Amino acid sequence: MRGHKRGIWSIQFSTVDQLIASCSADATIKLWSLSDFTCFKTFEGHNTSVLKIHFLNNGTQLISSASDGLLKLWNIKTNECVGTFDKHDDKAWALCVSKDEQRFVSGGADGKLILWKDVTHEKKEEELEKRQEILLQY
């Protein structure tokens, strides 16, 4: 499988689909099909090397960490970055996701371990409640 222009830092198998995600020093993330070993999606948005990658939410999202300390949350279907998280002052070398995918930990060259919580479902519920309130007002 060829496609990255610089070295690959990490790969991750999807537990849901026949996919592999890879991240590279070329600042991109690529999704690869295991059936024919082709790249079918490239995610661009990091400005520096992408060091770690993990699938989240039953394979619908990716979380990545980079050498500038930023973490990004990606929607796989739309190919969009849906969140950028900035708590590290240096490279975010480590990224580990809990078994239930509700929490993850990032570790950086700044000596920090940061515990994160996935609030995607809570935000969706809040948006739905707000829409219902607006509809009830009319």
pLDDT single digits (tens) 91-119: 999 999 998 888 889 999 999 999 988 77
For residue 78, tell me if it sits in a domain.
Answer: yes
Q: Following DSSP, what letter does each residue of 7-67 receive, concatenated? A: -EEEEEE-SSSSEEEEEETTSEEEEEETTT--EEEEEE--SS-EEEEEEETTTTEEEEEET
Residue 3 within any structural domain of the chain:
no
The number of folded domains in the chain is 1
Q: Tell me the average pLDDT of the chain.
A: 92
Range of the domain at 31: 8-137
The confidence score (pLDDT) of residue 21 equals 97
pLDDT digits (tens, 9 = 90+) for 7-64: 999 999 998 999 999 999 999 999 999 999 999 999 999 999 999 999 988 889 999 9
CATH number, domain containing residue 22: 2.130.10.10
